[in-house]
Amino acid sequence: MSEFKFDALCIGNAITDVFSHVEDSFLVDQSLVKGSMRLVDTDEALRLYDLMGQTTRISGGSAGNTAAGIASLGGAPAFIGKVADDEIGEVYRHDMNSIGAHFQTSPLRDDLASGRSMILITPDGERTMNTYLGSATKLTALDIDPEVVSNSAITYMEGYLWDEEAAKKAFLEASRVAHEAGKLVSLSLSDSFCVDRFRDEFLELIREDKVDILFANEHELKALYQTSDIETAIALVREDCTLTALTLGSEGAMAISREETVHVPATAIVGGVRDLTGAGDLFASGFLFGLARDFSLSDCAELGCLCAGEVISHVGARPEKPLNQIAEQSGFT
């Protein structure tokens, strides 16, 4: 890998997770379906936030979680995403900076408030989510700092960005700048509904080499090739993309390139799986960190599984134990 300052630049929706413990009656009063996820508009977001009482706030979002994992491994991540000039935006910035992620995207100054996912936890431990994307949807090509892109070994982007025309342009600009600097570009397919919305465009990105490394889980890869057979999807993606990191849940993960295919088992979870939130995001942290540092594909996948294993052993999408210690204990130096 050529010289770089950041292992990975993660670009995605800047969403702050806002947690609050509520009684079941709160859900009933607000006509909320327990365990569901819904998108809310500005008025509803601000109204609900005011009613939530005491909250715990932590920066989140798929790419943000990946950046946090890279920091915890002892790497140097950068993040680009749009917050607003408000309290939640300040929380996001503070959090990202405090974990050591470079985050300098200028805040949005118009009518949208900072993106947030308001997570209501009832006494039975169920989580009811109300997500307001807000400012996060306003990312544009002007937010892509070419200095940061050229100084990152890999620029990693969420497929979710494809939902907004301006963010799409930002994605393409980042890909152009990264490639001009001789660096790598990576896309996460985000979820299978996202793949259904943008299948042709995602295929074009990999076939035209605007993306070098694809991250997908089994459902997303099958959706990309509209097949129910994972082996068929693997054979097709091998033709289309230089490198694919495929996660297989409890079956571990694969790395697929034209020259080699590796399959590593999932990490055993002492005490069992608690919460799958963030599994894919943290897998990407380990894989990207390894790739930036010229690890073998098998080690990249193994480190990805180790990081995912930590985050699913507890509730929440951010690592609780320092990932560099976990990596060291498993022989990664």
List residues near ligand GMP by CB under 6 A: 247-250, 252-253, 266-267, 269, 273, 276, 279-280, 283, 305, 308-309, 312
Least Å from the CB of residue 312 to ligand GMP: 6
Helix ranges (DSSP H) in the chain: 24-29, 42-51, 62-72, 87-98, 146-150, 165-180, 192-207, 218-224, 230-240, 279-292, 297-311, 323-329
Least Å from the CB of residue 311 to ligand GMP: 8
Q: Which is nearer to ligand GMP, 113 or 216 (CB)?
A: 216
Least Å from the CB of residue 267 to ligand GMP: 6
Q: Which is nearer to ligand GMP, 166 or 273 (CB)?
A: 273
Tell me if 62 sits within 8 A of 281, measured CB to CB: yes
Q: Which is nearer to ligand GMP, 143 or 299 (CB)?
A: 299
CA–CA separation, 332 vs 328, rounded Å?
A: 5
The SS3 of residue 127 is strand
Least Å from the CB of residue 301 to ligand GMP: 8
User: First vs last Cα of the chain: how many Å apart?
Assistant: 18
Sheet holding 77-80, edge to edge: 77-80, 6-11, 152-158, 184-188, 213-217, 243-247, 253-257, 261-264
DSSP state of 318: S
Q: Which is nearer to ligand GMP, 134 or 280 (CB)?
A: 280
Q: Which residue number is nearest to ligand GMP in terms of Cβ?
A: 308
CA–CA separation, 240 vs 257, rounded Å?
A: 10
Least Å from the CB of residue 303 to ligand GMP: 10
Q: Which is nearer to ligand GMP, 33 or 268 (CB)?
A: 268
Least Å from the CB of residue 252 to ligand GMP: 5
Q: Which is nearer to ligand GMP, 249 or 322 (CB)?
A: 249
- How many other CB atoms are there within 10 angstroms of residue 41's CB atom? 12
